[in-house]
Structure formats: structure tokens, C-alpha cells
Amino acid sequence: MTKGISTERPTPARSGSTGRTRRTGWLVPAALIALSAVPVIAGAARLGQLTGGGPITQDSARYFATPAPVVAHIITVTVFSLVGALQFAPGLRRRRPAWHRAAGRLVVPSGLVSAFSGLWMTLFYPALQNDSALLVGLRLAFGTLMIVSLVLGFVAIRRRDVTRHRAWMTRGYAIGMGAGTQLLTVGPWMALAGEPGPLPRALLMGAGWAINLAVAEWAIRRGTR
């Protein structure tokens, strides 16, 4: 009887542990989707304005004059953010590797189009009143780094170097998610002091990218250990 009890008890514990592990595995994707929610909703609203013909404001006039880059940016960054978040679910990667590969074939091109269209808008759209040279430089630097990260991540997986692939894709995704974190850096300033000037705005937006990259590097090193 003692042997029977000892062999039956671990089963529910393992089942419960597996369930908890699966739920925990979805925390990161859920957090990433939540982080991207406001930029995605704002992008959808922008698309609605463009397709509906207005209203045209001083800030949005440049989008109506040349809509193709911003439309491409909104669509691809939405795909990159939402589908890319699911790539961080370890259980999904293990159970459905074919889905992971197929999603990657969608995420990488979407990220590249998003980054290139962002660079185009930075270089050729008329600057806003609070857009400083520092902010333009930061956008160009992080946009370029995003492209480099995605390309290196793609090259790494072609060489079957999974560790470097994950590291570079994590960095590229972190940069692409900068808009979500910038809401957390710029928002409190606006709530307390109103619209930030050119220098504070550049520093606050730069902090959003820097925070994401710092978290990405921590996650990469933690995963390696």
C-alpha cells in the first residue's frame, strides 16, 4: 500500500507544474502584446484618417501628402509587433516548430519594411516643430541597428546558429517595440509638465529605445546562462 501511494502522488504535481509552466511561458508574449497595444491602435486610427480623408492637421499633413511610407510602416510594424510577440513563447516554439519558422518568414520582412519606411520618413518627411537634430540622429541610428539586427538574425539561422539567431532577433524586436516604451517615458512628462521641448523629447524617446535594448541584453545573457 505504501508503494502504491508513493507512485500515485507525484502525478498531479507534475501536471500542475506543467500547467503553471505553460501559463508562465505566455507571460512575456502577453506583456509584449500589451506594450504594443497603444501604438497599434494609434496606427489603426491613423490609417482610418488617411482612408477617410481627414481631419488634416499641421502634424498629419505630411502623411496625406505622401501616404505610402506611413501606410507601409503602420501595417508592417503591426504584424512585426503582434506576430513577433508570439515568437517569445517557448512552448509554442517547441510544440510547433513549423509555425515558428513560418512566422519568422513573416516577421523578418515585416520588420525590415518597418525599419526602412521609418528611416525614409525620418529623412524625407518635413520635421515637426519639436523634432531636434538629436532625435533625428537617434531615429537613424536605432533604425539602422534594427535592420542590422534582423539581417544578422536571419544569417545566423541560415547557418543553424540558434543562439546568435535568438540574440539578434531579440535585439531587433526590442528596437521595433520602442514606440510602446516611449509612451511610458514621454507620458509621465506630459502629464506633469506638458509637451516636452526638443531636447527633453529626444532624450525621453531615446530612453525608450535604450530601456528596451537593456532589457533585451539582460534576457539574452540570462538565457545563455
> The pTM is what?
0.85
DSSP state of 53: T
The chain-wide mean pLDDT, for the chain, equals: 88
**What pLDDT shows up at residue 26?**
81
Residue whose C-alpha cell reads 501536471 in the numeric block: 15
Distance CA 190, CA 188 (A): 5
The Cα 168–Cα 173 span in angstroms is 9
Residue 82 has pLDDT above 50, yes or no: yes
Cell (9 digits) for 183? 509612451
The larger pLDDT score, comparing residue 53 to residue 166, is at 166
123 contact partners, CB below 8 Å, separation of at least 6: 140
The larger pLDDT score, comparing residue 177 to residue 53, is at 177
Q: Could you give the C-alpha distances from 123 to 42, 205, 208, in angstroms and in order?
A: 22, 17, 21
Question: Could you give phi then psi for residue 126, rounded to 5 degrees?
Answer: -60, 135
Nearest to 116 by CA among 68, 164, 45, 50: 68
Q: Quick one: pLDDT at residue 7? A: 40
What integer is the mean pLDDT of 138-150?
98
The reported pLDDT for the residue numbered 110 is 97
Indicate whether 9 pLDDT > 80. Answer: no
Least confident of 61-65, 106-110, 205-209: 61-65
Res 129: pLDDT:
85
Residue 195 per-residue DSSP state: S
Q: Is 163 within 8 Å of 224 (Cβ atoms)? A: yes
Query: Average of pLDDT values for 85-104?
Result: 88
Helices (H), 9-131: 10-25, 27-52, 61-65, 67-86, 90-95, 97-124
pLDDT-derived band at 8 (thresholds 50, 70, 90) equals very low
Averaged pLDDT for residues 89-116: 91
Q: How far apart are CA 164 and CA 155, in angstroms?
A: 9
* pLDDT value at residue 54: 75
The dihedral sign for the CA sequence 185, 204, 136, 145:
negative
Among 1-10, 41-50, 159-168, 212-221, where is mean pLDDT lowest?
Answer: 1-10
Per-residue pLDDT, 225: 58
Q: Pick the residue with more confidence: 43 or 1? A: 43
